[in-house]
Amino acid sequence: MSIVLEIKGVNKTFGGLKALTDVNLKIEEGKTHAIIGPNGAGKSTLLNCCIGKLIPDSGSVTFNGQDMIGKQPYEINHAGMVRVFQTPEIFPELSLLENVVIPALAKRDGIFKFNPFKMLSNETEIHDQAMRALADVGLDKFHQKNAGSISRGDKRRLELAMGLIQNPTLLLLDEPTAGMARHDTNQTIDLLKKIKDRGMTKIIIEHDMHVVFSLADHISVLAQGCIIASGTPDEIRNNPKVKEAYLGETEDE
């Protein structure tokens, strides 16, 4: 199995705080790799180093054989690494359809050429792609509604559609079920399983262990900026270090 993303010896400090220490990860093509750990463990910092929002102090991030260190976030996005954020970054005054069309146009036309005010009547192919992406997440019937008027769970699914329409090689999901009721969480799990069946590679940061164990092929555990364990779900579930640092606390909740 080929490696889509390789992180080697990544370190990141903020002042005197070591956010990441010698982090090493390999993400296999077509797999769902979960990264778990307590709050403040460095999970979001690691993703930010991958997408160019932060530059590591040392180490390398290689995506599809190319060094990503120093590249701009839009360059990494256009290379095929797409992040869906924990807090939905949508356009609340626009319709669901328009929200999904915008990243598709930006991906196709390039960041400096794309025009978000293009008439959709001239963009039949993009329109059809956007409707399919909305259908994938169960929102196509509401494509004309303003994005600001839908529920939190639907906003998370809308942003997922905004990521899917970009046809990513690697999809980064930052707590995709945070704040959701159990019904919405289970719907999202089903959606992500459907994406997994297509062979899309994913990294998921998630606190809900039901979500993690439902979706992950491989799990890495961060604690205080260090990878303390990495393995299959069964290996992680039974790892004493993980239970002490994280899982034991979660299972008691």
Could you please report the per-residue DSSP string of 49-108? HHTTSS--SEEEEEETTEE-TT--HHHHHHHTEEEE-SS----TTSBHHHHHHHHHHHHH
Helix (H) or strand (E) holding 177: none
The reported pLDDT for the residue numbered 115 is 61
Tokens 């889509």 appear where?
4
CA distance 124 to 81: 26
User: Which 3 state secondary structure label does DSSP give 144?
Assistant: coil
Instruction: Please name the helix (run of DSSP H) or strand (run of DSSP E) that holds residue 202, with its range, or none.
Output: strand 201-205
pLDDT at 197: 72
pLDDT value for 250: 45
pLDDT given at position 121: 57
User: What is the pLDDT, as a whole number, of residue 29?
Assistant: 94
CB 23 within 8 A of CB 227: yes
For tokens 């979960």, name the residue. 34
Phi–psi pair at 103, nearest 5 degrees:
-65, -30
Compute how many other C-beta atoms are within 10 angstroms of the C-beta atom of residue 247.
21
Question: Which phi and psi (to 5°) does residue 201 adopt?
Answer: -80, 135
Question: Order of strands across the sheet with 66-67?
Answer: 17-28, 3-14, 58-63, 66-67
Return the structure tokens found at 186: 């289970």
Distances (CA, A) of 125 to 73, 101, 150, 209: 26, 10, 26, 39
User: Residue 127's closest CA among 148, 138, 115, 143?
Assistant: 143
Q: What does each of the 253 residues of the chain score in pLDDT, given as a tens digit?
A: 699 999 999 999 998 899 999 999 999 999 999 999 888 899 999 999 999 999 999 999 999 999 999 999 989 998 999 998 777 788 899 999 989 998 888 877 766 555 656 656 567 888 899 999 999 899 999 999 999 999 888 888 899 999 999 999 999 999 888 878 888 888 889 888 887 777 789 999 988 899 999 999 999 999 999 999 999 999 998 888 887 766 555 444 3
CATH architecture assignment, domain 3-80+168-252: 3-Layer(aba) Sandwich (3.40)
Domain ranges across the chain: 3-80+168-252, 90-151
Strand partners, 18: 13
Residues 157/188, Cβ–Cβ less than 8 Å: yes
